[in-house]
Amino acid sequence: MTAARVRLYSKPGCHLCDDARAVVQRVCAEVGTAYDEVDISSDPALLKAYGEQIPVTFVDGAQHDFWRVDEARLRSALTR
């Protein structure tokens, strides 16, 4: 199994997270890469680190975006 290249930090009830998830799902499907999602509400350290920035996306372990996911920018990062 291949490790996910994209990680989405989110929490339930977050409309920006719903929007980000749709973009991440679409772009990852197009380029054929995996993503995973982490609910920060169950981890105090993650909640402290990202609570004011969610959704937060990471690509290949580096923070890529927060609040909104730019579809073109994500696609570019995954196809370099």
Contact 16, 24 (CB under 8 A): no
The domain segmentation of the chain, as residue ranges, is: 6-79
Residue type, 38: V
Please state the pTM of the whole predicted model. 0.91
Which CATH number is 6-79 given? 3.40.30.10
48-77: burial string, b at 16+ Cβ within 10 Å, e else: eebeeebbbbbbeeeebbbeebeeeebbeb
**Mind listing the pLDDT tens digit for each residue in 15-45?**
999 999 999 999 999 999 999 999 999 999 9
Contacts of 68 (CB under 8 A, 6+ apart): 16, 19, 20, 55
* Residue 48 reports pLDDT greater than 80: yes
* Residue 6 reports pLDDT greater than 90: yes
